């Protein structure tokens, strides 16, 4: 069972739909008891970094998430803003991130390229990971974001993508994973990623 | 780098899928949910739905149809038609759409652009700029299914809605829509070159060359296609289709 955390941000219906489609059991919850029993956690998110961190930190929620991710070490997948929250912090906000993966979130530099980085882009495999099993070089995903993540060390980068800069579109540290794109909006490519996460 | 998006744009009247010519007479295409399934199989980049009569008939979106559509779709989805309050907008987002398209409301209730952008981000707000040439050959922006001349110049109007918080422009040539005569490259170029926003070019696309021109000459960020993707050819029967991916990649590579 994959538990999708509902903290008020993100397009949860689409995520649940795709989980159903691939035959993975999933539930959406904002209930702390349910979350504290979770075997696998998906952390979605759209919007602003600080707004999301405030939602996560302002309650018992943060304590449970820390316990699950860093003590019990259940698999956690952050998508889109949910991935950026896994880092130390972001140039978008003042608040600290969850700091579960040694990485930071930067603003795209000013250039001729339009921001947000919005549309389909390709991913390149970096450090091998169970999350990226059966990916090939044609794998593409739907992105919408104005800030990007760069891991401090290459070993925590599992996917990278180029948009003016080369950034980490997938990161991992032990049981904790992040994906910058929207798997739930990325056809069979997203389904493969969700299948890999469901198998963990 | 980013792929140039080719977006099927599908017209609804309530629960039926239709296709107009110059925003006027229309033919029935079929059931929207079946059509979505086909585009899913074809792995298209993105889908846009517009209820072309919702504002004109003064009714809201058909949430039930939108719900069925969103349940079938594993790609980015946008919807326009009859969105006139923040509550309606929220409801559509909650169904699984990530972009809303505003046209009539951008004139009647421009603050809605700002309100939606504040909550969901600018990238979630697409303003549909529907353009017709007047007798003197000047471009003018229309609302209410192309029936109300707003007497605005497209370039200036786009700057205005960008300042309000719009994140993308769906630029339609009413004169070309449904005609298969090719997109209006002058119009696309004018708007794309004067705006920082991504411009989705729409209206008239009938061949791969038309798409190439819109992107390379017109500098469009994306191309929306209607007739070409729901008919076998001009004046032929209904056939939901999508251009060959490899050929598309070839014409779109710079």
Question: How many angstroms separate the Cα of B196 from the Cα of each of A114, A148, A163, B191?
Answer: 7, 20, 17, 9
- Tens digit of pLDDT per residue, chain A (200 long)? 999 999 876 668 889 989 999 999 999 999 999 999 999 999 998 778 998 999 898 779 999 999 999 999 999 999 999 999 999 999 999 999 999 999 999 999 988 888 889 999 999 999 999 999 999 888 999 999 999 999 999 999 999 999 999 999 999 999 999 999 999 999 999 999 999 999 99
Q: Do B123 and A17 touch (CB under 8 A)?
A: no
Of the pLDDT bands very low, low, confident and very high (cuts 50, 70, 90), residue B15 is very high
CA distance B41 to B89: 28
Can you give the C-alpha Rg of chain B in angstroms?
Answer: 17
In this predicted structure, the answer to whether residue B179 has a pLDDT above a threshold of 80 is yes
Does a cis peptide bond (omega within 30 degrees of 0) precede residue A79?
Answer: no
Q: Do B5 and A120 touch (CB under 8 A)?
A: yes
By Cβ distance, the residue of A11, A117, A190 closest to B74 is A190
Q: pLDDT of B17-51, one tens digit each?
A: 999 999 999 999 999 999 999 999 999 999 999 99
CA distance B187 to B172: 9
- Average pLDDT of the residues in B172-195: 97
The count of domains in chain A is 1
Q: Which is more confidently placed, A9 or B152?
A: B152
Does A10 reach chain B within 8 Å, measured CB to CB? Answer: no
**Residues 6 or more apart in contact with residue A178 via CB below 8 angstroms:** A77, A78, A79, A82, A83, A84, A86, A101, A149, A170, A171, A172
Domain that holds residue A37: 2-199
Chain A residue numbers with beta carbons less than 8 Å from the beta carbon of B75 are: 142, 185-187
Chain B residue numbers with beta carbons less than 8 Å from the beta carbon of A121 are: 1-3
Does A63 reach chain B within 8 Å, measured CB to CB? Answer: no
Q: For the domain that residue A159 is a member of, what is the CATH number?
A: 3.40.50.880
Chain B residue numbers with beta carbons less than 8 Å from the beta carbon of A182 are: 76
CATH code of the domain made up of B5-252: 3.20.20.70
User: What strand order describes the sheet that includes A165-173?
Assistant: A26-29, A2-5, A41-43, A76-79, A176-179, A165-173, A157-163, A124-125
Determine contact, residues B248/B241, Cβ cutoff 8 Å.
no
Percent share of chain B, pLDDT over 70: 100
Q: Do A144 and B123 touch (CB under 8 A)?
A: yes
**Residues 6 or more apart in contact with residue B50 via CB below 8 angstroms:** B9, B10, B11, B12, B79, B80, B81, B101, B128
Q: pLDDT of B72-100, one tens digit each?
A: 889 999 999 999 999 999 999 988 899 99
Chain B residue numbers with beta carbons less than 8 Å from the beta carbon of A114 are: 196-198, 221
Q: How far is A92 from chain B (nearest CA, A)?
A: 14
Q: Do A184 and B74 touch (CB under 8 A)?
A: yes
For chain B positions 185-204, those within 8 Å of chain A (CB to CB) are: 196-198
Q: Do A17 and B71 touch (CB under 8 A)?
A: yes
Q: Which of B51, B87, B130, B244 is catalytic?
A: B130
Q: Do A117 and B2 touch (CB under 8 A)?
A: yes
Of the pLDDT bands very low, low, confident and very high (cuts 50, 70, 90), residue B121 is confident
Domain segments of chain B: what residues?
5-252
Chain B residue numbers with beta carbons less than 8 Å from the beta carbon of A21 are: 74
ipTM here: 0.86
Percent share of chain B, pLDDT over 90: 90
Can you give the C-alpha Rg of chain A in angstroms?
Answer: 15
Q: Do B94 and A13 touch (CB under 8 A)?
A: yes
Q: Which is more confidently placed, B175 or A47?
A: B175
Closest CA relative to residue B8, chosen from B200, B237, B247: B200
**The pLDDT of residue B120:** 85
């Amino acid at each position: 069972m994959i538990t999708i955390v509902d903290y008020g941000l993100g397009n949860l219906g689409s995520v649940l739909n795709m989980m159903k489609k691939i035959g993975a059991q999933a539930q959406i919850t904002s209930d702390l008891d349910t979350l504290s029993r979770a075997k696998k956690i998906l952390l979605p998110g759209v919007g602003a970094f600080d707004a999301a961190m405030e939602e996560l930190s302002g309650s018992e929620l943060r304590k449970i998430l820390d316990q699950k991710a860093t003590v019990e070490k259940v698999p956690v997948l952050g998508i889109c803003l949910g991935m950026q929250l896994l880092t130390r912090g972001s140039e978008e906000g003042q608040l600290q991130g969850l700091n579960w993966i040694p990485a930071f979130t930067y603003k795209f530099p000013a250039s001729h390229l339009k921001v947000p980085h919005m549309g389909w882009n390709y991913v390149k495999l970096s450090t091998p990971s169970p999350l990226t099993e059966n990916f090939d070089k044609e794998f593409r995903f739907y992105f919408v974001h104005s800030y990007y993540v760069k891991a401090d060390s290459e070993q925590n980068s599992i996917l990278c993508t180029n948009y003016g800069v080369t950034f980490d579109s997938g990161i991992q540290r032990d049981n904790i994973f992040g994906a910058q794109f929207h798997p739930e909006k990325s056809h069979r490519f997203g389904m493969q990623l969700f299948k890999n996460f469901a198998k963990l | 780098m980013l792929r140039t998006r080719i977006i099927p744009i599908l017209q609804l009247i309530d629960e039926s899928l239709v296709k107009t010519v110059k925003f006027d007479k229309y033919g029935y295409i079929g059931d929207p949910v079946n059509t979505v399934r086909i585009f899913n199989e074809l792995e298209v980049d993105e889908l846009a739905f517009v209820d072309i009569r919702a504002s004109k008939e003064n009714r809201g979106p058909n949430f039930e149809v939108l719900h069925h559509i969103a349940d079938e779709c594993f790609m980015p989805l946008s919807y326009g038609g009859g969105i006139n309050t923040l509550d309606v907008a929220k409801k559509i987002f909650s169904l699984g759409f990530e972009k809303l398209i505003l046209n009539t409301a951008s004139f009647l209730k421009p603050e809605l652009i700002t309100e939606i952008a504040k909550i969901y981000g600018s990238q979630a707000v697409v303003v549909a700029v529907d353009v017709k040439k007047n007798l003197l050959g000047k471009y003018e922006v229309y609302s209410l299914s192309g029936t109300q001349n707003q007497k605005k110049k497209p370039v200036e109007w786009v700057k205005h809605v960008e300042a309000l918080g719009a994140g993308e422009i769906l630029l339609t040539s009413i004169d070309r829509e449904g005609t298969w005569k090719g997109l209006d490259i002058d119009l696309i170029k004018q708007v794309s070159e004067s705006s920082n926003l991504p411009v989705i070019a729409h209206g008239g696309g009938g061949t791969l060359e038309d798409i190439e021109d819109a992107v390379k000459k017109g500098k469009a960020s994306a191309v929306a296609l209607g007739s070409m993707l729901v008919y076998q050819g001009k004046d032929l029967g209904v056939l939901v289709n999508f251009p060959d991916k490899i050929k598309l990649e070839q014409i779109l590579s710079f």
